Structure 1
Amino acid sequence: MASSKSSSSSSNRLALWFGIALLVIVLDQLTKVLILRAFNFGDSVTVTSFFNVVRVHNTGAAFSFLAGAAGWQRWFFVGLGLMATGFIGVMLKRHGHQAVFSLALSLILGGALGNVIDRLIHGYVVDFIQVHWDAWYFPSFNVADSGITVGAILLIWDELRRVRKS
């Protein structure tokens, strides 16, 4: 009986973590559809003195890494995203009881899959959030990238907490 209850609890946690990843994917894809409908490539609208909404296409990875490659990078990043998905799925199944760690992985998973979907549909990732200060512009990003970044920060924070406890 305890095994069945533990298995059910584990399944519920796994559903929660995959649900969070799905929420990131849905928010990411919804915002990208809105941008694709409302903006032409390169369009930009100033929202505040430090924030613009733009439409840019990134054929590379973070900070346009490999954007100038001959096209093979699309499939490389799709494959990498799918391998990360499998790895994260295994980690969530094994460590779903660790809330901060699992939340971090869920955010990273949702972000990775959001960008994989873009690469499969468009051949590039749609970025639209641009922050800047005076003439300094941070590279444009999207909801998926935000999920990955927040997830990575949570992973670091969780590990620092774990080290402190030891």
Structure 2
Amino acid sequence: MLNAFKETGLKFLALSLLLIIADQFSKIWIINNLALYADINVLPIFDITYVRNYGAAFSFLSDAGGWQHYFFTGIALVISVLLIYWMYKTPVKQTWLLAAYALILSGAIGNVMDRLNYGYVVDFLHFYYQDWHFPAFNIADMAISLGAGLLILDAIFEQKNSAQSENQSAENDSPKQVKK
């Protein structure tokens, strides 16, 4: 069983676990130390502000009546199972791809834990400039966003590497011209 972790991408589950722990501890701290909507100014463009998100990203469907709680939880659980399967199947040498899977997995599980424990997602990282405000988010959201970015980078570089490999293969397969 331990070989499955060493020889497959499942060893990246350690990254997921670390991020889930950081996410959950940060949310517990927020709940225990801040009143709802209270904020702590950290920088001129950044506050720690306790808000609750009953929907998905950017509070999408937050006022849909409650069914969205089960819908988003179900989607996150299905995606989590798929990500673990893909991590198992992905060769360990594909570190960017595996890190992306681990980041997305940790974010999905972190937010599902909130939905199951509280009925909402705890958000608290709030960036703004003058009258412009970016919706508050959390460590799980950051992990999902970074994972998505890594997926895009992996796809770009994988496509570039595949094209280079094909060019090298074509050059090696082409007949050599003999000089006369």
Where does residue 88 of structure 1 map in the other structure?
A: 83
Tell me if structure 1 keeps the 8 A contact 2:9–2:87: yes
**Please, which of 112, 115, 132 is the counterpart of residue 136 of structure 1?**
132
Where does residue 43 of structure 2 map in the other structure?
A: 48
Tell me if structure 1 keeps the 8 A contact 2:10–2:88: no
Give ranges in structure 2 of 5+ residues lacking alignment: 164-180
How far apart in 2 are the matches of 1:96 and 1:137? 41
**Please, which of 52, 70, 77 is the counterpart of residue 75 of structure 1?**
70
Q: Secondary structure in 1 aligned to 2:43? A: coil
How far apart in 1 are the matches of 2:21 and 2:90? 24
How far apart in 2 are the matches of 1:15 and 1:94? 9
Where does residue 16 of structure 2 map in the other structure?
A: 21
Offset, 1:163: 1.3
Q: Secondary structure in 2 aligned to 1:101? A: helix
Where does residue 11 of structure 1 map in the other structure?
A: 5
Give ranges in structure 1 of 5+ residues lacking alignment: 1-6
Write out the 4+ residue segments of structure 1 that deviate beyond 3 Å after TM superposition: none
**Please, which of 145, 148, 173 is the counterpart of residue 149 of structure 1?**
145
Which TM-score applies when normalising by structure 2? 0.85
Cα deviation 1:88-144 (Å, max 9, x = unaligned): 011101114211000000000000000000000000000000011111000000000
How far apart in 2 are the matches of 1:130 and 1:18? 28
Task: Find out whether 1:65 has 2:60 as its counterpart.
Answer: yes
Offset, 1:15: 4.2
**% same residue:** 37
Where does residue 26 of structure 2 map in the other structure?
A: 31
Cα deviation 1:51-74 (Å, max 9, x = unaligned): 000000000000111101000111
Which TM-score applies when normalising by structure 1? 0.92
Tell me if structure 1 keeps the 8 A contact 2:10–2:84: no
- RMSD, matched Cα: 1.5
Query: For this pair of structures, how many residues does the alignment match?
Result: 160
Q: Secondary structure in 2 aligned to 1:47? A: strand
Task: Find out whether 1:124 has 2:95 as its counterpart.
Answer: no
Q: Secondary structure in 1 aligned to 2:63? A: coil
Offset, 1:17: 1.0
